[in-house]
Amino acid sequence: MKFLLSVIAGMLMLAFFFIWKAPPADWIQIETNSHQIKQSVRIAGTMLQIKHIKKNDAGEEQIVISNGISGPK
């Protein structure tokens, strides 16, 4: 029983270490040909997310985030 508890405690400590060391999901700017559309991407978990920022003539921004390719389940 003590062995099982020590194995579980070790696995929890290892999981917390990997979560603590994981890099944050920062947005990376993508170069586009349009001055009205900006795009950024990031990896959130196993999901590729794409952020489209569209600016209209009045200067207002509309942000749309879409989920792209999903990794293995």
Measure the CA–CA gap between 3 and 73, rounded to whole angstroms. 31
Per residue in 12-70, pLDDT (tens digit) is: 998 888 777 666 678 888 888 888 888 888 887 778 888 988 888 888 889 888 887 76
- What is the model's pLDDT at position 71? 59
Count of beta carbons in the 10 Å neighbourhood of residue 6: 10
pLDDT score recorded for residue 9: 92
Give the single-character DSSP code of 58: T
pTM over 0.85: no
